[in-house]
Structure formats: structure tokens, C-alpha cells
A = this chain, B = another copy of it.
Amino acid sequence: MIRCVKCNQVHAITRAGILRGKQRYYCKDCKTYFTLPDADKKVVAETGKKHMATIVDIAKALNISKSTVSRALREHSDINPQTREAVLKKARQLDYQPNQLAQSLVKSKSNTIGIIVPEFLTYFFPTIIMGAQEVAAKAGYNVIICQSQETFKTEVANAQVLLSNRVEGVLISMTKDTKNFEHFRTFERHGIPVVFFNRVCEEMNTPRVLVDDYNGAFMAVEHLIKNGYKNIAHIGGPSILRISHNRLNGYKDALKKHKLKIKDELITHCDLSKDAAHACAEKLLNLKNRPDAVFCVNDPAAIQLMLVAKNMGIKIPEKLGVVGFSNDPISAVIDPALTTVEQPVADIGRTAMRLLLDNIKKGIDGFKPVTKSLKTNLIERQSSVRKK
């Protein structure tokens, strides 16, 4: 329903190109060109969203083409140094900030990496992210961090968000009850490299970064044995997770090596929550045949155990030796200080990110599904050392 501004006619109107960004019309009847007055432009101006300068603004101000501006800004090929200077100056004047979204869209490259972690509750994942971000930033990549909150559904939603944001690669540590991997396979199907760390997916053929859980556990338990503990229990993690498996195996093999019996009643599994660890601790310490030492799947679990033991009046390390895993900052200051298996946490993040960037560069077909295993290291403190 365009009405000619001159003859007030409706039927003889055709479009006639664009004039300064506005639709121009032509009235065949009175043979005039016209554009419509823009009544609503002001509304936008009033909402408070101050216009952000674009390359077109710069181009107009300098009376050159936007390609030239783009080239000047990107320090492209041959451009007149004077033009370039003028552009840069004007850009500063107008407070110009390149629009990443537009840039990404046209280049089909978002410069963004996605990270999915289960939680932020202990120092562990935040520290990994620090390491990963450090490496990403150096390579000019941004990072979108998602927390799955140990919930499968959230994890699937996270994957969607990352996909929608066209991340170029993804770092993942799964929730403890992820059994279906379709949402991860989607990445692969679209050629988006994935690297798992810590909680890795066995079913997928991707690079992974782990710490040497088996050896760490083995060292830990052997250390307990050497300190004279004989009835050693284990608070393990969820059995789906490879880390739980590996640590359990390390535990078992250390016992075997030293000819100690593996007793099923001494092996418990928690879901990595505080409460579950607490329950495991209570169960173990209330056994008729009470263990004289416990190797725990991680420090938070060990700390729960220590609290339960304190409450029951069981002396650590005299009556109960305790070893944790991961060297949480707490373990150094708790009393008695907790013996634990140190893992290079920030390094996990750095290594995973490096691996990922590498794979992005190579393209998904150049993928080698390497598994990097970082070294663990036993830190002996008081919770497991009996004075002789």
C-alpha cells in the first residue's frame, strides 16, 4: 500500500532501486520518483541503544568505499599509507569496534572455542579452565564456558548452544551420568573437533587428556602399605567414569603386588557428591572389620572421611590412614594435612587446548586420536604417616 506522494495514487507504483539505504519508488502515473519519509527511525534512536560505528560510517565520513576501510583496518595487501592512517584515525574518533558476529558470519569462522565442564564447585575445573583459556587467548581464540551441572539434559543443551554459536572446537569433561553420546557425535558430524579431558568418552574416537590415574592410585596405596596399613579400603567414584576405573585398578594392583586380599566390602562407590562420600565414609568406618586406611578417589571425599572419623573419635593417622587424590588446596591446610596424589591441573587445561587448536588447524580429517596422559605425583603429608 504505497501511495504516491504527488498524485496520491496507489496502483501505478513500482520499486525503483535503493537510494541511500532506502527503498525508492516510481509512480508511472505522474512520473515521479520518491521515497517514503521515515517516521519510525526516531523510535530506534530513542531506545538508548547508541549506534555503534560501522565501516560504512567510516567510509562515508572519509568519502571512500567500505572495502578500502576494511582493508585499512585489516592491514590488508596494498593500501595507501595515508588512506590507512586516515581510516585508523577516524575509527578511533568514532569509537569503532569491529563486529565479530558479522566477521564470523562472512568468514564462517567464529574464533570461539566451547568448553563443557560438570561444575565449578571445587577448585578443579576452574583451574583447568584457567589453563585452557590462557592457551586459547594466546592463539586469539575466545572461549564460551558451559556448566552441565552434572546433568545430562543440561549437557545436551550446552552442546546445542555451542553448535549454534558455531564454535570451532570443543573441550569436554562429561557429567557422571552421560551414557548417550549423540550430542557429542553431532560435533564430529559437522567437522568440529572435540577433545575430552578428565572425564573422557570411551566410545568416541577423539583425542583425550588424562592424568595417570592408575599409577597415582598405585603409588598412593603402596605408600599406605609401606606405612604398615594392612586393611585398606577404597572410596571410589561412579563406575562409568574411566578415572574411577583406573584408580580402582591401581588400588587393586597395589594390594595384589603386596599380597593383600582384595575385599569387596572395603570397596565403595560414591557419585562424587559430598553427601555420597559422607555416606561411604560412614559405611566403611562402621564395618565390624574396620579398615585401618582408606584411599579416596578425590580430596573432597577424603575430607568427608576425615570429618566422619573425627566425629567418631578415630585418630588419623594412628588408627586410620587417609590418602586423597588431586591435591586440592584444602588438603595442605587441613589437620592433619592430607596425603594426596597431585595432578597438574592447569596443565590438563593447557594440554587439552593445545591439542584442540592443533586439530582445528589440521581439520577433522587430520585427526589423530592421541591420548595424553599427564604425570601424577604423590605428596606425603601427615594423614598417612605413622610415627614408628
Contact = CB atoms under 8 A, between A and B. Distances in A.
Interface in A337-352: none
**Copies of this chain, whole number:** 2
Contacts of A307: 333
Given A142-B144, A161-B142, A166-B100, A120 B110 contact: no
A353 to B, nearest CB: 14
B144 A363 contact: no
Contacts of A384: none
A314 to B, nearest CB: 16
A163 B100 CA distance: 9
Interface in A36-51: 47-50
Contacts of A133: 147
A47 B145 CA distance: 27
A264 interface: no
A364 interface: yes
A67 interface: no
Contacts of A126: 120, 126
A164 B333 contact: no
Contact of A163 (B50, B97, B122, B366): B97
Interface string A124-139: 0011011001000000
A152 to B, nearest CB: 16
A191 interface: yes
B160 A190 contact: no
B100 A164 contact: yes
Interface in A95-136: 95, 97-102, 104-105, 108, 110, 119-123, 126-127, 129-130, 133
Contacts of A363: 47-49
A300 B44 CA distance: 49
Contacts of A334: 330, 333-335
A160 B105 contact: no
Interface in A344-379: 363-366
Given A48-B365, A101-B165, 5 more contacts: A97-B163, A101-B105, A122-B123, A126-B126, A133-B147
